[in-house]
Amino acid sequence: MKMKQGIQLYTVRDLIQTVEDTEKTFAYIKDFGCDVVQISGIGDIAPKTVQALVERFGFDVCVTHKPFERMVNDLDALIEEHRMIGCDTIGIGSMPGEYRDDPDKVLAFARLASEIGEKMAKQGMRLAYHNHDFEFRPLPSGKTSMEILLENTDPALFGLIPDVAWLQIAGMDACRFLRENKARIKVVHMKDYCFEGEKRRFIEFGKGRMDFDAVYRTCGECDIPYAVYEQDCDWSESALASCKYSYEKMLETAAKID
């Protein structure tokens, strides 16, 4: 399977808050050849308008990030909005704060997310969770949040959106994590980072500490369908320029590994 390359739109979140800005941003991304996106951080734009823009630019929306509160209280509408844009995977950007730092609360989150994942599965959708580094810190019980999540969820009902930079920052072997959890993964976040003194900063693809050759080889071995570039901040010139640069470098890396 040839992995598709795309852009996590959270990278350009400040440029997708209005219909007009979103249209311009979509045009820029399309112009440099990208047709895969993750929708995240978008403004309060009507679902039908988002659908029209996605269809106009021919984007393959591989996943989203949506508030967990909507999954709990507004699931049917959320699923319908995803059907409108041809997306079958709804992502959680992070575990809500009220569930963190306590093993019993993490377990409660895992059980609730599994119930939601089961409801999604019955409608042909899938739930996926995006990690940071806190999920890999030991809790008072000795286990990490990620261990609790993986041990208490079904891969068919609780997917993952691994962020390779956050995995490495947490002290994990990103490639090993991908291999061990490949049944849960549709999309990988390709993020890079560096240190300036003691300060960590995110950086464009390939400019930092990540061994993306190894990551891409592992994704290929695991038949992971999508990779999306994400850079939360610290763009060298602008968020748009960073997207273009990093997307082109992702294509070069993918071609080299293929």
The residue type of 33 is G
In terms of DSSP bridges, do strands 187-190 and 192-196 run parallel, antiparallel, or are they unpaired? unpaired
Q: What is the pLDDT of residues 78-94, one digit of tens each?
A: 999 999 999 999 999 99
As a whole number, mean pLDDT of residues 193-201 equals 94
Full DSSP string of 33-89: T--EEEE-S--S--HHHHHHHHHHHT-EEEEEE--HHHHHH-HHHHHHHHHHTT--E
Residue 129: CB atoms within 10 Å: 24
Residues 139/94, Cβ–Cβ less than 8 Å = no
Beta pairing partners, 37:
7, 61
Give the bridge partners for 8, in sequence order. Answer: 38
Once rounded to an integer, what is the mean pLDDT over residues 7-30? 98
Phi, psi of 189 (to 5 degrees): -90, 120
The tens digit of pLDDT for each residue in 94-125 reads 999 999 999 999 999 999 999 999 999 999 99
Torsion sign (Cα): 198, 247, 125, 157? negative
With cut-offs at 50, 70 and 90, classify the pLDDT of residue 257.
Answer: confident
pLDDT band at residue 258 using 50, 70 and 90 as cut-offs: confident
Q: 16 to each of 21, 35, 44, 58, 103, how far by Cα in Å?
A: 6, 16, 9, 17, 37
Task: With CA atoms as reference, report the closest residue to 160 among 115, 113, 192.
Answer: 113
Q: How many other CB atoms sit within 10 Å of the CB of residue 247?
A: 22
Whether pTM exceeds 0.85: yes
* Residue 140 confidence (pLDDT) above 80: yes
Mean pLDDT on 26-50 = 98
Compute the distance between CA of residue 130 and CA of residue 192 in angstroms, rounded to an integer: 16
Give pLDDT, residue 97. Answer: 96
User: Tokens representing 60?
Assistant: 């393959």
Residue type, 60: D
pLDDT over 80 (residue 1): no
Residue 66's nearest CA partner among 12, 10, 106, 24 is 10
Confidence of residue 236 (pLDDT cuts 50, 70, 90): very high
Tokens of 80: 């319908």
Look at residue 54 and tell me whether its pLDDT is greater than 90. yes
Query: What single DSSP character describes residue 258?
Result: -
